[in-house]
Chain A
Amino acid sequence: MVENRPWLTALSHFILIIGLVVIAFPIWMTFVASTHDQTTMLQSPVPIWPGSHLIENYKTVLTSGYNRPGSVPLSVTLTNSLVMALGVAIGKIIISIISAFAIVYFRFPLRMTCFWAIFVTLMLPVEVRIVPTYGVVASLGMLDSYSGLIIPLIASATATFLFRQFFLSVPDELAEAARVDGASPMRFFWDILLPMSRTSIAAMFVIQFIYGWNQYLWPLLITTRQSFYTVVMTVSRQASVVDTVPAWNLLMAMAMLAMLPPVLVVALMQRQFVRGLVETEK
């Protein structure tokens, strides 16, 4: 700090605390709602402190979902979301780190064509071309499958760009030394480049895990069998159903469980994630 201005510091804390309250309040109310019974949550004003039905509610949603005939247990949808998020994150990292390696460390005909082909995917996110993409996946027979949930989403440019950016910042001397010592390109990739990329990989993992976990429209469209439902789409779909006697306690317990894994990933890997996020765009 440049100078000491106590009132300004106090004002800063004050504004930050208001910010925190606005950020945390929706999550807090969700948590509180998930700890009461159904009747309490139907009377306005709803409580703002936790109640005593926490374990009961979470057990109900994990074993029988929204607790109506035909609702899916959350243990199933959480597993599906986990498979999808890990598949998207790991799949994207693998295919983009090798394509970035090729684009940075080799000169070959069609190199720039490949680069631009990857680049243009930035301009048309899956939400915009949702109808034809659905058609393609349907005609390949990939509806209601993990490969249908995962593979169409790993065609994206962000990860390739991050790794390309990182590889460009690696000193040329390293590749030169490897070449002089007669190491093959793949040897250089495994023994030198990959270990150096650990931070970028960790950052990309967090970003893509969250991207995969938080997908909404894609799983909504391509899954018709409950055994492939994901948690985010289940929560959102349940919320938009007009219910005569809504079970807010269960819905909010479902929302808590839908938020928990990505929030944990961000909280635990905050440093790598922040660095990766800010550096991707440089």
Chain B
Amino acid sequence: MEKRVTFNERWLPYLLVAPQMAITLVFFFWPSGQMIWQSVLLEDAFGGRTKFVWFENFKSLFADPTYFDSVRLTIVFSALVAALGLAVSLLLAVMADRVIRGSSFYKAILVWPYAVAPAVAGVLWGFLFNPSVGIVNWLLHGVGIDFNYVVNGNQALLLVVFAAVWAQVSYNFLFFLAGLQSIPKSLIEAAAIDGAGPTRRFWDIVFPLLAPTGFFLLVINTLYALVGTFGVVASLTQGGPGQATNILVYKVYNDGFRGQDLGGSSAQSVILMLLMILLTFIQFRFIERRVHY
């Protein structure tokens, strides 16, 4: 889309984009360029001297089984976060769209988690499931389940998924609700007059019309699971126990800052970047199409 009417000025537009371009160049392109450059360099153990090594860093990364463990873990984790997050929020949005009484009250509370930092969400869920004082742990113990996320890898992963979904539900809910409210009521009424029940109406009319929103949210939630959940992992498990919750974005940080492996960490960042580019591309292709509707 373009404007027909524009202003003719020679220098003004440059002046207007200058601040954003300056910040983008210094704090985005410079570090990103460095990252890509680092990914083909090898620094010797005592620092200082670096050597150009082509794709050595990538090769050693792909030869490292712990990296593939992290990739596999990230796929499972993202799938769980996206699927659970979308399912729960769709259910809540459909219900909130149905009820008349109290719907603004429900909405007012369901948006809270949006305001809570993922890192703080991790703290809250860690408290609920704390092995010694967690109230949910105590309840689970009462029914014979021993839940200890500090030592049990699968339980740790499950808890990180819960906290991550909790922090993202509001966002999905608001988009689904907006999507539902934009469906013409006449369509639903016509189907009802023709004798279609609520379930039939949902699957045959509402669900297909919500598909664009759902697809958009799927991409956003995958991006969120890949990157946005860093704070949840950092305050709950720090990637542990063992490697059980060491998802890619946390591994980049861990290897780069704690492990001081700059080349390997940059190579990981580059791969993560390619993944993000792919997802962003998919998202924008799809939005372009929706605009032309």
Interface set of A (CB-CB < 8 Å, partner B): 1-3, 5, 8-9, 12-13, 15-16, 19-20, 22-27, 29-30, 33, 41-46, 48, 94-96, 98-99, 101-108, 111, 114, 117-118, 120-125, 127-133, 135-137, 140, 151-152, 154-155, 160, 167-168, 172, 175-176, 179, 185-186, 188, 210, 213-217, 221, 232-233, 235-236, 239-240, 248, 251-252, 255, 258-259, 262-263, 265-267, 270, 273-274, 277-278, 281-282
Selected contact of B123 from candidates A43, A122, A214, A235, CB within 8 Å? A235
Selected contact of B126 from candidates A8, A120, A137, A239, CB within 8 Å? A239
Tell me what chain B mostly uses at the interface: helix, strand, loop, or mixed: helix
Selected contact of A8 from candidates B26, B100, B107, B198, CB within 8 Å? B198
Q: Which of B123-157 contact A (CB under 8 A)?
A: 123-128, 132-135, 137-138
B residues near A188, Cβ cutoff 8 Å = 7
Q: Which of B157-192 contact A (CB under 8 A)?
A: 166, 169, 171, 174-175, 178, 185, 188-189, 192
A residues near B135, Cβ cutoff 8 Å = 29, 45-46, 48
The residue of chain B having its C-beta at the shortest distance from the C-beta of A165 within the complex is B1
CA–CA, A179 and B138, complex, Å? 70
Stretch touching chain A among B43-51, B58-66, B68-76, B252-260: B252-260
Selected contact of B20 from candidates A118, A213, A216, A232, CB within 8 Å? A118
Q: Do A263 and B122 touch across chains, with their CB atoms under 8 A apart?
A: no
B residues near A213, Cβ cutoff 8 Å = 117
The residue of chain A having its C-beta at the shortest distance from the C-beta of B171 within the complex is A277
Selected contact of B32 from candidates A107, A129, A233, A258, CB within 8 Å? A129
Q: Do B92 and A236 touch across chains, with their CB atoms under 8 A apart?
A: no
Selected contact of B5 from candidates A175, A215, A267, CB within 8 Å? A175
24 CB-based A-B contacts, threshold 8 Å: A8-B98, A9-B98, A16-B96, A26-B125, A30-B127, A44-B134, A45-B138, A95-B19, A105-B7, A107-B6, A128-B269, A129-B31, A130-B252, A135-B34, A136-B30, A155-B20, A210-B114, A214-B118, A217-B234, A221-B257, A232-B231, A240-B235, A255-B123, A278-B174
Interface set of B (CB-CB < 8 Å, partner A): 1, 3-7, 9-10, 12-14, 16-17, 19-21, 23-32, 34-35, 38, 88, 91-92, 95-96, 98-100, 102, 106-128, 132-135, 137-138, 166, 169, 171, 174-175, 178, 185, 188-189, 192, 198, 216, 220, 227-228, 230-231, 234-235, 238, 249, 252-253, 256-257, 262, 265-266, 269, 272-273, 276-277, 280, 287
CA–CA, A35 and B109, complex, Å? 22
Write the nearest CB–CB distance from B283 to chain A, whole angstroms: 9
B residues near A102, Cβ cutoff 8 Å = 12-14, 16-17
A residues near B38, Cβ cutoff 8 Å = 131-132
Selected contact of A262 from candidates B19, B115, B126, CB within 8 Å? B115
B residues near A27, Cβ cutoff 8 Å = 112, 116, 124
Write the nearest CB–CB distance from A57 to chain B, whole angstroms: 15
Among A43, A98, A236, A263, chain B packs the most CB atoms within 10 A around the CB of: A236
Q: Given A2-B185, A102-B13, A137-B27, output 11 extra A-B contacts at Cβ < 8 Å.
A: A2-B189, A8-B98, A46-B133, A114-B17, A132-B31, A132-B38, A214-B119, A236-B122, A236-B231, A239-B122, A278-B175
CA–CA, A277 and B127, complex, Å? 30
Write the nearest CB–CB distance from A21 to chain B, whole angstroms: 10
B residues near A155, Cβ cutoff 8 Å = 20, 23-24, 27-28
Q: Do B227 and A127 touch across chains, with their CB atoms under 8 A apart?
A: yes
Q: Do B230 and A127 touch across chains, with their CB atoms under 8 A apart?
A: yes
CA–CA, A175 and B5, complex, Å? 7
Q: Do B111 and A274 touch across chains, with their CB atoms under 8 A apart?
A: yes
Q: Do A23 and B110 touch across chains, with their CB atoms under 8 A apart?
A: yes
Asked, given contacts A155-B20, A186-B12, whether A236 binds B277 with beta carbons under 8 Å apart, the answer is: no
Asked, given contacts A239-B123, A270-B111, whether A232 binds B117 with beta carbons under 8 Å apart, the answer is: yes
Asked, given contacts A24-B109, A232-B119, whether A108 binds B13 with beta carbons under 8 Å apart, the answer is: yes
B residues near A240, Cβ cutoff 8 Å = 234-235, 238
Q: Do A128 and B272 touch across chains, with their CB atoms under 8 A apart?
A: yes
B residues near A255, Cβ cutoff 8 Å = 120, 123-124
CA–CA, A111 and B128, complex, Å? 52
Q: Do A266 and B112 touch across chains, with their CB atoms under 8 A apart?
A: yes
Asked, given contacts A108-B13, A179-B5, A239-B126, whether A267 binds B189 with beta carbons under 8 Å apart, the answer is: no
The residue of chain A having its C-beta at the shortest distance from the C-beta of B249 within the complex is A127
The residue of chain A having its C-beta at the shortest distance from the C-beta of B220 within the complex is A281
CA–CA, A84 and B252, complex, Å? 25
The residue of chain A having its C-beta at the shortest distance from the C-beta of B103 within the complex is A16
B residues near A278, Cβ cutoff 8 Å = 174-175, 178
A residues near B12, Cβ cutoff 8 Å = 102, 106, 185-186
Q: Do B21 and A172 touch across chains, with their CB atoms under 8 A apart?
A: no
Selected contact of A111 from candidates B13, B117, B189, B235, CB within 8 Å? B13
CA–CA, A25 and B16, complex, Å? 47
Asked, given contacts A41-B133, A99-B19, A117-B24, whether A105 binds B115 with beta carbons under 8 Å apart, the answer is: no
Q: Do B98 and A179 touch across chains, with their CB atoms under 8 A apart?
A: no
